[in-house]
Structure 1
């Protein structure tokens, strides 16, 4: 039996759902005019890696087939094609600062930000959505349950990649 890629890290992960439960300092890094959905996952992280390195470890340079199905197919998100220093998994890097990076994209019915922050021995992933049309309010709630189940695995895989990178030097 193959161990889960998070190597037990999921137990140490904390999460919060709802904009009111996300620190104001983190919400302020979103580019959205209003936040209709927000969640935050935080994992202790000993490895020294930049927010962009964490984002690329989580999502890759180009979206996986599963990510394309969810992001393009179900959510209609516009993603860039191919590898670029200006994108992560097709999401445009729309902002960065000391300890954080913001990825941004949109569809015809919602706008989305993914924010990766590295601070104080922790790495965090925040998801922020703004619904431009009613369809966003209808489509995202059932998908958000799937999203919240997938994030711990995404973190586990990313942490293993970061650990391997740090170990190799």
Structure 2
């Protein structure tokens, strides 16, 4: 399965694509960030993020998209920008009929390091090891996007089975 991980943000939106599956070692397809200037208007920045993610979807052709869930922060402006960029990714995936997995930072950290309290350095170290990279992806947003993709690769199929087995069947 090929998964696009999206670490949403307006200044830097991390994107990472991995291939893998049950019993198949995951490997890196592509990693990077979409950047927008902090001085630009929000609408312009969201359009740039949308264009960037759309280009990645066209180029890498993922089978699923994993997006970080927004969590509460003290800086409301940062939360809003993160939520807006995440919503852009969700809409773009939904328009293509791609399943979307939403994961909290703690879920992602636990999936790749074994601890939901891991710091960015630990996540980056494990991403480097798990994907057999010679160096850690930079910036941290790129490593986080790969962590999201791996989290979905490993947890997404099981979560889909649980949802299907729940009373009322699968939900979107």
What TM-score does the superposition give when structure 1 sets the normalisation length? 0.31
What TM-score does the superposition give when structure 2 sets the normalisation length? 0.31
Comparing both structures, which one devotes a greater share of its residues to strand? Answer: 1
Comparing both structures, which one devotes a greater share of its residues to helix? Answer: 2
